[in-house]
Amino acid sequence: MHATAPNPVIELAAPCLGEPEKRALCAVIDDGWITMGERVRRFEQIFAELHGVDEAIAVNSATAALQLCLSIFDIGPGDEVLVPSLTFVATANVIVHAGATPVFVDIESPTVPHISLRAADARITPRTRAIMLVHYGGYLIDLQPWRELADRHGLLLFEDAAHAAGLAGAIGIASDAAAFSFFTNKNMTTAEGGMLIVRDEQRRQRARILRTHGMTATTLDRARGNAVGYDVLDCGFNFRMDELRAALGLVQIERLGEWNESRRALTNRYRRELAHLTAEVAVPFDAGRPTSAHIMPVLLPPQTDRRSVMQGMREAAIQTSVHYPPIHHFQFYRQKLPVTSLPQTERFCEAELTLPLHPRLTLADVDRVVTALGDMLRT
């Protein structure tokens, strides 16, 4: 139906869901056990194997994973955490919830919109406890220099890998912990959901306990008669993943590699077509950088009125977005923290436009987006 419509909407992002997901959900209902059980455990194992780590801990969002991460390392009042301002607001919110202070660090440059190592080094104080990296757009940060910086100053190193599910063998290995998201618009989805990888075995154990109220025995153990009572070892949360979501995750993770490959192919097409435009549209990052190609960010030429470009694209039935308004400009953070100026972040955020990218797009869709953008920039 879409293919014959005159001007089908090209969506910014769209989950890939179908019959296998429906069947998986029905199977959970038929089995009758609907929260943390065998499917969650299997999903954790497969996710861990895919990323080349021993274990992964399933939770109900990446925000929960990040919060759990800060909890197991006792990040709290008096602590500072270095974090980019160019990220989704949850990355900073969890630091505030922990009672710690987010210290926003500028990005390297508009063409390498990752937290700057040099700028981070300059913001380290005796109160700094951790660095939170964000693999913006799914583009992998080179972790080795960050590990060295963290070790030199005795800091923890965390990864917000919400954009980067499926970047095998790269994430959660050099850092102390990494958090992934399965929200609807991410590279794979469980509607809501997340995963935490923790390097240290004891901290990992603590994360499992904190995930479910700090209790010693799980509901499943008790239902099976494996545990009579329970104790509470820690003041925990309810961050559990349920079996319905794990069932979705088990189906989705089978396709993740193929989907990420499609995203990369579409990104390459964008790069090629955008290079032919007369207007100077820059694409961040080198084409060779490892990526899960979560989004398609571009930088509009200086002096472009982004709002009218976005309006024009909407009229051409093409959805666009901005990733992200910088966190340090949000009212809450302006009032909470001292004024900071992050010139590279601000330049990037003023010029950035996110173009549609998801595995159901076709190369022809990409060409239509680029043509529309070219038309918009000429007028």
Ligand X SMILES: *Cc1c(COP(=O)(O)O)cnc(C)c1O
**DSSP H helical ranges for the chain:** 19-31, 38-50, 62-72, 90-97, 117-123, 144-153, 201-211, 219-223, 243-275, 306-315, 331-336, 343-351, 363-378
The count of chain residues that interact with ligand X, using the rule CB under 6 A, is 14
Q: Distance between CA atoms of 299 and 285, rounded to whole angstroms?
A: 11
For ligand X, give the closer residue by CB, 161 or 353: 161
For ligand X, give the closer residue by CB, 253 or 281: 253
For ligand X, give the closer residue by CB, 284 or 312: 284
State yes or no: residue 352 binds ligand X (CB under 6 A): no
Closest separation between CB of residue 285 and ligand X, Å?
A: 16
Closest separation between CB of residue 324 and ligand X, Å?
A: 8
Contact 208, 58 (CB under 8 A): no
For ligand X, give the closer residue by CB, 215 or 246: 246
Which one of residues 10, 62, 141, 253 is an interface residue with ligand X (CB under 6 A)? 62
Which one of residues 139, 183, 259, 348 is an interface residue with ligand X (CB under 6 A)? 183
Q: Distance between CA atoms of 175 and 158, rounded to whole angstroms?
A: 6
Contacts (Cβ under 8 Å, ≥6 apart) of 151: none
Tokens 């100077």 found at? 280
The sheet that has 156-160: what strands, in order across it? Answer: 57-59, 194-198, 177-181, 156-160, 128-134, 80-84, 101-105
For ligand X, give the closer residue by CB, 73 or 183: 183
Closest separation between CB of residue 295 and ligand X, Å?
A: 9
Closest separation between CB of residue 4 and ligand X, Å?
A: 34
Per CB under 6 A, which of residues 267..306 are in contact with ligand X? none
Of 292, 287, 295, 289, the closest CA to residue 258 belongs to 292
Contact 94, 88 (CB under 8 A): no
For ligand X, give the closer residue by CB, 194 or 297: 194
Catalytic residue among 186, 211, 323, 358: 186
Per CB under 6 A, which of residues 68..97 are in contact with ligand X? 87-88, 90-91
Per-residue contact string for residues 143-182; x = within reach of ligand X by CB under 6 A: -----------------x-xx-----------------x-
Closest separation between CB of residue 294 and ligand X, Å?
A: 8
What is the token pair recorded at 191?
């509607």
Q: Distance between CA atoms of 294 and 180, rounded to whole angstroms?
A: 12
Q: Distance between CA atoms of 225 and 365, rounded to whole angstroms?
A: 55
For ligand X, give the closer residue by CB, 111 or 321: 321
Q: How is residue 265 annotated by DSSP?
A: H
Closest separation between CB of residue 372 and ligand X, Å?
A: 26
Closest separation between CB of residue 378 and ligand X, Å?
A: 33
Q: Distance between CA atoms of 83 and 86, rounded to whole angstroms?
A: 9
Q: How is residue 169 annotated by DSSP?
A: T
State yes or no: residue 194 binds ligand X (CB under 6 A): yes
Per-residue contact string for residues 32-61; x = within reach of ligand X by CB under 6 A: -----------------------------x
Per CB under 6 A, which of residues 102..141 are in contact with ligand X? 134
The answer to whether residue 186 is catalytic is yes
Q: Distance between CA atoms of 60 and 194, rounded to whole angstroms?
A: 5
Residues taking part in catalysis: 186
* Chain residues that interact with ligand X, rule: CB under 6 A: 61-63, 87-88, 90-91, 134, 160, 162-163, 181, 183, 194
